[in-house]
Structure 1
Amino acid sequence: MFGALAKSLFGSSNDRYVKSLRKTVEQINAFEPTISAMDDATLVAQTAKFRASLAEGATLDQILPEAFATVREAAKRTLGQRHYDVQLIGGMVLHRGEIAEMRTGEGKTLVATLATYLNALEGKGVHVVTVNDYLARRDCEWMSRLYNFLGLTTGVIVPNLSEAERREAYEADITYATNNELGFDYLRDNMKYERNQMVQRPFNFAIVDEVDSILIDEARTPLIISGPTDDKSELYIAVDKLVRQLSDTDFEKDEKQRSIVLTEDGTEKVERMLEEAGLLQGANLYDFENTQVVHHVNQALRAIFMFRRDIDYIVKDGKVVIIDEFTGRMMDGRRWSDGLHQAVEAKEGVNIEPENQTLASITFQNYFRMYPKLSGMTGTASTEAAEFYDIYKMNVVTIPTNLPVQRQDDEDLFYKSLEDKFKGIAKTIKEHQLKGQPVLVGTVSIEKSELLSAFLKQENVPHSVLNARFHDSEARIVAQAGRLGAVTIATNMAGRGTDIQLGGNLEFRVEDELNAMPEGPERDAAIERIREEIKTERQQVLDAGGLFVLGTERHESRRIDNQLRGRSGRQGDPGLSRFYLSLDDDLLRIFGPDTLFARMMRSSLEDGEALPPSKWMSKAIETAQKKVEQRNYDIRKQVVEYDDVMNDQRKVIYEQRSDIMDAGSVNDVVTDMRHETINGIVGAACPPGTYPEQWNVEGLKADVERTLALTPDIDGWLKEDAVDPEIFVERIIAMSDAALAEKTAQIRPETWASIEKSILLQNLDHHWKEHLATLDALRQVVHLRAYAQKTPINEYKQEAFALFERMLNSIREDVTNTVSHIEFQLQEPTPPPLPDLPDFLTSHIDPFTGEDNSADIDAGTRGLITTTIPRMAPAMAGATGGDNPYADQNISRNAPCPCGSGEKYKHCHGALA
């Protein structure tokens, strides 16, 4: 009670924080008259002035008011837009490394320019992160007009860029990119062998657009770079055929946990079928030899009975493409791991691509936590404020709207069945369309979108469908969803990045209608006509009540519902929102309380009748959503906990790789590894505190021979009086050092340094890859330790640490083995072959006789030939005095004879008698 009273008197903590920022807004506004009076050249010079101030020791906070005022003026001149005061507050929140929660249509893209420009002045690079390639390109192209005007460079990272293009984009002052591309570039960079091959700079500052979608929704699964393993497509197909024969009584399905397990009868049935197919070793499915088969059976069960086409995935161009459950978008290039994707491919009868082995992996949580300063913006973050702070240490600040919100949010309507609900929705849509009110319909899956589309066709309601099947045209469809009487069905609306403007979008209409019209007065007049049409149509839509947002069911997350609602009521426009529910909805069927179902059934609803709106019902729905949100948070938290263990190890490996690449020589590292390996070999054969009679001398000899390519006289050393393992170590190290020094003396030092570096990096990468595969396998089974009353995460940490130690030992041994066995084949470098010279004629005038000796055979016709060709006998009897068949041809005496003898004419047929 006292809290509510204090809030009413003093405002919430968020209100007080926003109020404190208004003092800085006043400072920014005070600069406006001065900066507005500047000409373009003076305004552009502000960037150099700010950078000079920073170089002299000024802080970003000190130059913030004038820098923000500069950006505001530049936006007016380049974009025709002026930042509102609330947008300046949003820019300050982003600069402070916090999350700005701003309603749809409040101009988040423009807000980001303030913090982006300010932080880019340091020259360390700013990353603006978007949810898809379209938005990255669009925002970069749109906002680069402002940044370039002020003298900053911009770049964009999208798929299919070359390494050089990526490097250039990252070197820019401001880089727009998708979260996936940033993460994959980081992993790829840490798989390269030369520092100059890497594309990313050290992390500085990132602004994440649709921060809840990227850092919450997509953070449930890590980014993985993998390579193909052996092809097992025949096994997948065989197992798929067997599992399809199972009935519902053969397995137990838990839709909450998305898990499925065989019953006892189901296990016996599978064993019999596998035996007949020759896929089972022994009689027990769970024998160690059948581990792989069990794995395939489990994944086939999930693929066939748990994953649904057009909801979890679609089949496009002969490939299974995952559907993002939160945004409804296709996730091209992303594949389920652990053989699940292959099982779905077998189910759908498409080409089965080989399973992949993890080469590098990172979660979005650990990737984005590497930025020294991280901020974000979205329309819906407050429901996940606790998670943002727990994981990213980011506060959520709700920014007030520029104009008061006039949207009316009605209570939910409840129907008994799915069919009744869709019939009611179709009739409602038709009613609103007839009076000209645009309707945006939100669905949770492609399947529901197409079902509703069929109902609307029965009612003869023209409409557009926006889902993963029509991903390419999503911006165009969304942009025109506010036109008079427009009906748009959208599968989730998270991160669409395009505002719904009442009356239509001028930019898209011009592009659609005037694309072929050349620039000139006629085109300008047509644009003005479209602008007037939009103005008139906007007023008609406002009179009809603005945009009506209709949700066909509640989403698992309240954020997605709020994102859908937020599409209506943009910039003070009127609007309406309402959700329609039924007992068949997944949220209520899986997570709803039993009492809810009981009360609904007792209400005796007539077919087609809707339950009157009630606050009790809305509360029950919210409770179900909170359950799901908590479950999803637990999943994400578990992903982070497990990846934190790997992240510590990842940092060690990547730092070592970085040090190796930067070092001129790694000889000290390789030498230390070799000496430690020798210590380990001797220590294993001659444990401390034991007698010589107990030592494994033969094993020591074999290990030294195998690892170091040496044959020390250990038997002779044992006959000495003061025999000691430390002496063994010293002598073997001395022998190894001498042997290696003798080898390396044969080549240049820089060549050996390059060889050592290559050996070290290749071994590091090979063992890290194997270690990741081992950790993946461990993570899949460690939960079974819970049956022994042990905490799985603690068990995982202990096992992972032991495996990491073992990996480091293996790296040392393998590097030592490779270095010790290396042999150099010294060969004189063969000179590269000279290129073939073209045939050409030479002129060579004898200075004494004045004769042209170009054809002298001893000089050569090609200028380089020095081989002497024996003189040939005259080809004809008349050559020394007989008839000359060429006498009438006026041939030069020094030219080759036409008979082909190779002699000069004067020595052959042209010889004087």
Structure 2
Amino acid sequence: MFEAGKQMPRREHDIVKQERAGMLGIGTIARKVFGTPNDRKIKATRPLVDKINVLEPEFEKLDDAGLIAKTEEFKTRIADGESLDSLLPEAFANCREGARRAIGLRAFDVQLMGGIFMHQGNISEMKTGEGKTLVATFPAYLNALTGRGVHIVTVNDYLARRDAEWMSKVYGALGLSTGVVYPQQPEDEKKTAYAADITYATNNELGFDYLRDNMKSELNQMMQRDHYFAIVDEVDSILIDEARTPLIISGPSQDRSDLYMSIDRLIPELSDDAYTIDEKTRNVTFTDEGNEALEEILHARGILPEGQTLYDPESTTVVHHVNQGLRAHKLYTRDKDYIVRDGQVVLIDEFTGRMMAGRRLSDGLHQAIEAKEGCQIQPENVTLAQVTFQNYFRLYDKLAGMTGTASTEAEEFMEIYGLGVVEVPTNRPIARQDDDDQVFRTAQEKYQAIADEIKLAHEKGQPVLVGTTSIEKSEMLSQLLTQAKLPHNVLNARQHEKEAQIVADAGKLGAITIATNMAGRGTDIKLGGNVDFKVMEALDAEPDGDPEEIRRRIEAEHAEAEAAVKEAGGLFVLATERHESRRIDNQLRGRSGRQGDPGRSSFYLSLEDDLMRIFGSERLDKMLSKLGMKDGEAIVHPWVNKSLERAQAKVEGRNFDIRKQLLKFDDVMNDQRKVIFAQRREIMEAEDVSEITDDMRHEVIEELIDVHIPPKTYADQWDTEGLYAAALEKLGIDVPVIKWGEEEGVDAEVIRERMVEASDKMMTEKAEAFGSDTMRQIEKQVVLQTIDQKWRDHLLTLEHLRSVVGFRGYAQRDPLNEYKTEAFQLFESMLESLRETVTEQLARIRPMTEDEQKAMMQQLSQQQAALRRQTENAAAGHPPAPGEGDTAAAPEPGSGTPDAATTPLVEGFDEGDPTTWGNPSRNDACPCGSGKKFKHCHGRLA
């Protein structure tokens, strides 16, 4: 063994060195002879890069119009059958020249390589600062020539807008259009953005627009036109870290605020032995003693009725909410997992440290946290449509990605998405110094050592970026630096709005920036500071100054500052903990040493860190105690690094297995989702769906006959009375079924034919009364709305099935197979129910009488008057009257249908029952009587 901070004994050190040298020698020889798979891929692109370089002088001679003419020529050649691969050298050469003229950047050979790999459907792993934003323009330009549209996906709205604005100059110089999609964007703008040749958007907005499109009722309302080719920036963050996050459009369910508050008050009364916490799986469960104590408290509080136990089926809801309350208190920590802002609980992304505004935890957990923090409790939501990022991005015909760190997850990218990972060489050799990890006994010793290290770096002018794992730890470290009188910036979810500015300043001489691990991702930290930000600040301070003169002055000052920072050692990345994923650590480390700049990275750890504590630091702690480590001493050795990497690899493997298993379950729903969404699109594309509704009606008649007149039975065994009642209720036809059953020689087939004839005649008469065009529109809307309603109910049923199917494992049955079987049966039942409901709805509709139309017009007039009053009050600064405030969000039904005054309603219109409202237009007053426009009330998206 070796002592802390000391070298190994010479002989032992030599033996280890010789063994390692021998092993490494064999591997090195093999690599020299055969090359690594990555080397072979790099080598294979050299001829293509050479072709592009040979073409460069030819494209330099073209004028600006000539570049655009080339684009049109390429489009024609593609239309004539030429492949994108054969066009690649010319297209890349054209794009390189367009970028050089438009934004003054000439792509390096390694950037062309990155673009080639992405065009081939791979992930290009390129280090921070290697110009990935420019690299994406090459495959985007080439694939956009097909006319099908390319989506470039970023992790936040700021980057989507920045990249779109910057790179649109390149695409514009080549004759292509650029669009950007962002939240709350006007619909006509969004449609234009999706119609552009290249569209920049966040992963969230793309996924939500996909779901919204599949809730629309007319094709011309849909935003996305195709899923052809997507380039995903920070691909590891989106397709790995957020892969398990479902995008959900939801509507409100009943308000249970009192129940949440009651349960929240009893959680602190539970003793520590009433439950057990498993930090590895982030789960908490009641012990047997805890269940008994809980039952007594629930009886005493009146939450659980006397005589009812926790194990009764009626107690399911209470037990579920108590479990969620316990999780909220014991597993979710303020300023780590969430923050409270403006009276709302806002989740924090554990990987990026960013706020996730608008995202809520499901199954009542978010409400339990709101109760814990004393915030207003928002009602639980029911799912109306959902998709995971895994399944959304697998919709694309071709997928590519780029990031600084993907190789550690290469297996998952290939297995789940079919994406290869290629490490693209840097343009200049990496000059960063990566220190071995320093492991301390306690967190206090670690933080003191960190403060001392920061002080040393600051004194020589070296900028320091300190990576932390939570807001709480970043602010605790900030207090430590304040006490040491070290000036610094803190970048976490609380300073979210200042992110770009703080990151821009992080490379200045002597700057100290504390950040949650991945805050600021997507923005380069440039040594000496960011010239563009400095110019903007100077222009604000000197509005009358000459912009060109100011830029020249600042660029000269920046060159001096950059040289001073390089002299001080470049950016020093100091990480205060290891993350569960090596990739997150590598991302943090990669912020330093961009484009051959000098830099340094170091990880400071303690045995009290989450990763060390949860994954077996006890043995290490005992060993260090025996070695006699003194306070403030650290253990530093490559073996420790290897040991930590193995622990991280185990966690990564476990997380991959969880994601893979979840994907198998989600694939069951995904297959059904594709069927439903494809069916909806077919219906929207069809001019006339009467054939579909006729088939549905005839199948319902078939089922009614089978139920009431079973095959191979005698007439006296028939239930003709039941058939008569069912025909009246489900088909809306009053036919003498009982009398038919008494006729001589009449069998089930004859009765079926007569019922079909009667129902067809009734629907023909209805079509004449409404008018053929109106009837076709009614049929389409009824079918679409019924599909949507049934699909929502089906999603809820599948959620419930998924929550209990795991228990089948105790009976030696495979939960996944059980889920697949039952989900399929449920899907078939849903389709049967769909036929019945559509038939029933169409049987009930009738044209409105003149009196009913007048009453409807009067009601609309009153609602519009109330809306005007509300608008006038708002403009004058008066608070809304009771009933005029915000209403709970509901799904967006189809729009663009005839006015509410002329929309045929289902018989028995009820203000409180949305299923009887027909299909109001987006700008009509909401039928619920709130006085708001439909789009601001029950037509508003969650």
Q: Same fold (TM over 0.5)?
A: yes
Match of 2:663, SS? Answer: helix
* 1:683 aligned residue (706, 727, 732): 706
- Residues in 1 aligned to 2:531 and 2:742: alpha-carbon distance in whole angstroms: 96
User: Could you tell me which residue of structure 1 aligns to residue 377 of structure 2?
Assistant: 352
- Residues in 2 aligned to 1:516 and 1:548: alpha-carbon distance in whole angstroms: 31
Does 1:270 pair with 2:294?
yes
- Residues in 1 aligned to 2:766 and 2:135: alpha-carbon distance in whole angstroms: 64
User: Could you tell me which residue of structure 2 aligns to residue 596 of structure 1?
Assistant: 620
Matches within 5 A, 1:211-610: 211-281=235-305, 282-493=307-518, 496-518=521-543, 521=546, 523-592=547-616, 594-610=618-634
* 2:78 aligned residue (54, 57, 72): 54
1:8 Cα deviation after fit: 2.0
The letter of the residue matching 1:372 is: D
Match of 1:219, SS? Answer: coil
The letter of the residue matching 1:134 is: Y
- Residues in 1 aligned to 2:420 and 2:435: alpha-carbon distance in whole angstroms: 30
User: Could you tell me which residue of structure 1 aligns to residue 719 of structure 2?
Assistant: 696
The letter of the residue matching 2:329 is: I
- 1:361-413 per-residue CA deviation (whole Å, 9 max, x = no partner) reads 00111111111011000000000000001110010011000011111111100
Match of 1:578, SS? Answer: strand
- Residues in 2 aligned to 1:229 and 1:421: alpha-carbon distance in whole angstroms: 48
Bigger Cα displacement from structure 2, 692-701 vs 357-366: 692-701
Match of 2:85, SS? Answer: helix
Contact 2:491-2:519 within 8 A present in 1 as well: no
Contact 2:503-2:520 within 8 A present in 1 as well: no
Bigger Cα displacement from structure 2, 324-333 vs 117-126: 117-126
Match of 1:605, SS? Answer: coil
Does 1:751 pair with 2:774?
yes
CA RMSD between the two structures: 1.8
Contact 1:221-1:639 within 8 A present in 2 as well: no
User: Could you tell me which residue of structure 2 aligns to residue 810 of structure 1?
Assistant: 833
Structure 1 pair 3–295 and aligned structure 2 pair: CA distance change class (3 A): same
The letter of the residue matching 2:676 is: I
1:286 Cα deviation after fit: 2.3
1:594 Cα deviation after fit: 4.7
Does 1:732 pair with 2:755?
yes
- Residues in 2 aligned to 1:688 and 1:507: alpha-carbon distance in whole angstroms: 82
Identity of aligned residues (%): 57
The letter of the residue matching 1:738 is: K
* 1:70 aligned residue (94, 99, 104): 94
* 1:766 aligned residue (789, 793, 800): 789
Match of 2:232, SS? Answer: strand
- Residues in 1 aligned to 2:848 and 2:376: alpha-carbon distance in whole angstroms: 46
Structure 1 pair 493–345 and aligned structure 2 pair: CA distance change class (3 A): same
User: Could you tell me which residue of structure 2 aligns to residue 618 of structure 1?
Assistant: 641
User: Could you tell me which residue of structure 2 aligns to residue 789 of structure 1?
Assistant: 812
- 1:177-202 per-residue CA deviation (whole Å, 9 max, x = no partner) reads 00000000000010011111111111
Does 1:653 pair with 2:676?
yes
Bigger Cα displacement from structure 2, 507-516 vs 189-198: 507-516
User: Could you tell me which residue of structure 2 aligns to residue 847 of structure 1?
Assistant: none
Structure 1 pair 734–427 and aligned structure 2 pair: CA distance change class (3 A): same
- Residues in 1 aligned to 2:518 and 2:69: alpha-carbon distance in whole angstroms: 41
Contact 2:509-2:561 within 8 A present in 1 as well: yes
Match of 2:74, SS? Answer: helix
- 1:637-678 per-residue CA deviation (whole Å, 9 max, x = no partner) reads 122111110111111111111111111111111011111111
Contact 2:441-2:621 within 8 A present in 1 as well: no
Match of 2:733, SS? Answer: coil
Does 1:162 pair with 2:186?
yes
User: Could you tell me which residue of structure 2 aligns to residue 643 of structure 1?
Assistant: 666
Structure 1 pair 597–677 and aligned structure 2 pair: CA distance change class (3 A): farther
- Residues in 1 aligned to 2:740 and 2:167: alpha-carbon distance in whole angstroms: 77
Structure 1 pair 516–536 and aligned structure 2 pair: CA distance change class (3 A): closer
Corresponding residue pairs, total: 830
- Residues in 1 aligned to 2:764 and 2:508: alpha-carbon distance in whole angstroms: 81
User: Could you tell me which residue of structure 2 aligns to residue 189 of structure 1?
Assistant: 213
Bigger Cα displacement from structure 2, 818-827 vs 269-278: 818-827
- 1:21-70 per-residue CA deviation (whole Å, 9 max, x = no partner) reads 01011100011112112222323322222222223322222221121111
1:601 Cα deviation after fit: 3.7
Bigger Cα displacement from structure 2, 497-506 vs 1-10: 1-10
Contact 2:539-2:545 within 8 A present in 1 as well: no
User: Could you tell me which residue of structure 1 aligns to residue 924 of structure 2?
Assistant: none
- 1:128-183 per-residue CA deviation (whole Å, 9 max, x = no partner) reads 10000000011011111111122211111111101111101101111100000000
Please list every run of 5 or more consecutive structure 2 residues that lacks an aligned counterpart in the other structure: 1-22, 859-942
Match of 1:745, SS? Answer: helix
- Residues in 2 aligned to 1:393 and 1:275: alpha-carbon distance in whole angstroms: 55
User: Could you tell me which residue of structure 2 aligns to residue 137 of structure 1?
Assistant: 161
Match of 2:803, SS? Answer: helix
- Residues in 1 aligned to 2:569 and 2:348: alpha-carbon distance in whole angstroms: 34
1:85 Cα deviation after fit: 0.4
The letter of the residue matching 2:573 is: V
Contact 1:591-1:627 within 8 A present in 2 as well: no
Higher relative contact order (CA 8 A, sep 6+): 2
Does 1:149 pair with 2:173?
yes
- Residues in 2 aligned to 1:372 and 1:341: alpha-carbon distance in whole angstroms: 36
- Residues in 2 aligned to 1:610 and 1:230: alpha-carbon distance in whole angstroms: 56
Contact 1:220-1:635 within 8 A present in 2 as well: no
Contact 1:429-1:439 within 8 A present in 2 as well: yes
Matches within 5 A, 1:89-100: 89-100=113-124
The letter of the residue matching 1:664 is: E
Contact 1:271-1:283 within 8 A present in 2 as well: no
Match of 1:220, SS? Answer: coil
Q: TM-score, normalised by structure 2?
A: 0.86
- 1:183-235 per-residue CA deviation (whole Å, 9 max, x = no partner) reads 00000010011111111111111100000000110112111110111111111
1:494 Cα deviation after fit: 6.4
Contact 1:27-1:65 within 8 A present in 2 as well: yes
Contact 2:724-2:738 within 8 A present in 1 as well: no
- Residues in 1 aligned to 2:848 and 2:199: alpha-carbon distance in whole angstroms: 48
- Residues in 2 aligned to 1:687 and 1:244: alpha-carbon distance in whole angstroms: 61
Match of 1:146, SS? Answer: helix
1:3 Cα deviation after fit: 6.2
Structure 1 pair 728–598 and aligned structure 2 pair: CA distance change class (3 A): farther
Match of 1:261, SS? Answer: strand
Match of 1:441, SS? Answer: strand
- Residues in 2 aligned to 1:699 and 1:340: alpha-carbon distance in whole angstroms: 47
Structure 1 pair 735–537 and aligned structure 2 pair: CA distance change class (3 A): same
- Residues in 2 aligned to 1:784 and 1:35: alpha-carbon distance in whole angstroms: 66
Contact 2:110-2:427 within 8 A present in 1 as well: yes
User: Could you tell me which residue of structure 1 aligns to residue 803 of structure 2?
Assistant: 780
- Residues in 2 aligned to 1:743 and 1:725: alpha-carbon distance in whole angstroms: 27
1:119 Cα deviation after fit: 1.3
- Residues in 2 aligned to 1:493 and 1:669: alpha-carbon distance in whole angstroms: 52
Match of 1:253, SS? Answer: strand
